[in-house]
Amino acid sequence: MRTLVTGGIRSGKSALAENLLGADATYVATAPGRDDDPDWAARIRDHRARRPASWRTVETSDLPGALAALTGPALVDSLGGWLVTALDRLQAWDQPVADWRSALDREVSEVVSAWLACPHDVVAVTDEVGFGGIAEHRSARVFADELGRLNQAVAGASDRVLLVVAGQVLTLKDDA
């Protein structure tokens, strides 16, 4: 079963996703730690404190590799964190889209292929960025546009898609 959990910031999506898996799972953390950001460190502490002590943690930006290496159920948190790392690596923030589009499309395709090939229950968390207006700053527009595209691709390859709004869960897709 492949489940995508989407929602806004602080909607409750990560807590829901964690509760979808049993006591023996792997947490795949895709966003790098930031020693210079105490708020980010607090978020990471909150996530760690909620997880069962029996869970293993893998911190990586190689999401296809992490999915291929799984030996049991897993939670990927988050697709947005993976995307930021990919956009950083491609130096996409200040470059014309034509300079990095095909490379990002290949990486997204690799993620979706690994997602589909994973023989274990997997849950991925992502942010839903499509409810707001168009951002003033280019980097925010690039992120929102590309996360929307990534979310569509992973949702299309998922058995179940859940939307969390204000702590409430809506089932958008359930092919199980």
Name the residues annotated as catalytic: 47
- Please report, in angstroms and rounded to a whole number, the separation of the first and last CA atoms in the chain: 7
Runs of H (alpha helix) within 56-133: 63-69, 79-89, 97-117
Q: Who contacts 70 (Cβ-Cβ below 8 Å, separation ≥6)?
A: 26, 118, 120, 122
User: What value, to the nearest 5°, has the Cα angle with vertex 65 and ends 27 and 61?
Assistant: 65
- In angstroms, the Cα distances linking 79 to 36, 61, 99, 119, 155 are 22, 10, 22, 19, 11
- The single-letter code of the amino acid at 159 is D
Token pair, residue 103, equals 């490379």
Q: In what order do the strands lie in the sheet containing 74-77?
A: 56-59, 26-29, 74-77, 122-127, 2-7, 160-165, 168-174
